[in-house]
Amino acid sequence: MPTISRAEVAHLARLARLAVTEEELDLFASQLEVILTSVARVGEVAAADIPPTSHAVGLTDVFRADVTRPGLTQQQALSGAYATEDGRFRVPRILDES
């Protein structure tokens, strides 16, 4: 049975840039454990001769021709942005946090 520790939840939260309180660490650890346990049951029916799949359909080699298609204008691209500057997406400073 999979177990997940508070420390692992804290680590995942840091990777995902999520602020998680001490209480939430306990809450999420127990909730994630339920999820992992449920998903792990798939492994009980998957015998060794069944290869893992990454895709629901058995297709290979689906390609697109190298031909340009119209995309978004700059205005459209930025229309959902929280903040913009000089035609670019503006984000808070990046590395200082870690």
Partner 1 sequence: MTAALMDYDEVLERFDPVLGLEVHVELSTATKMFCGCANVFGTPPNTQVCPTCLGLPGALPVLNGVAVESAMRIGLALNCSIAPWCRFARKNYFYPDMPKNFQTSQYDEPIAVNGSLAVELSDGSVFTVAIERAHMEEDTGKSLHVGGADGRIHGASHSLLDYNRAGVPLIEVVTKPIEGAGARAPEIARAYVTALRDLLRALGVSDVRMDQGSMRCDANVSLMPRGSSTFGTRTETKNVNSLRSVERAVRYEMCRQGAVLASGGRIVQETRHFDEAGGTTSAGRRKETSEDYRYFPEPDLVPIAPSDAWVQRLRATLPELPWQRRARAKTEWGLSDLELRDLVNAGALDLIAATVDAGAPAAEARSWWVSYLSQQTNSRGVELADLPITPAQVARVIALVAEGALTNNLARQVVDGVLAKEGEPDEVVAAHGLAVVSDDAALTAAVEQALAAAPDIADKIRGGKLAAAGAIVGAVMKATGGQANAQRVRELVLALVSA
Site for partner 1 in 62-91 (CB under 8 A): 62-69, 71-74, 77-78, 85-91
Cα distance between residue 89 and residue 83, in whole Å: 6
Nearest distance from residue 67's CB to partner 1, in Å? 7
Report if residue 16 touches partner 1, rule: CB under 8 A.
yes
Report if residue 7 touches partner 1, rule: CB under 8 A.
no
Nearest distance from residue 95's CB to partner 1, in Å? 5
The total of other beta-carbon atoms located within 10 Å of residue 88's CB is 12
47: left (phi over 0), alpha (psi -120 to 50) or beta: beta
CB 2 within 8 A of CB 37: yes
Nearer CB in complex with partner 1: 21/60: 60
CB 29 within 8 A of CB 9: yes
Report if residue 42 touches partner 1, rule: CB under 8 A.
no
Report if residue 92 touches partner 1, rule: CB under 8 A.
yes
Question: Which residue from 41, 50, 57, 82 is in contact with partner 1, where contact means CB under 8 A?
Answer: 57
Place of tokens 């691209």: 77
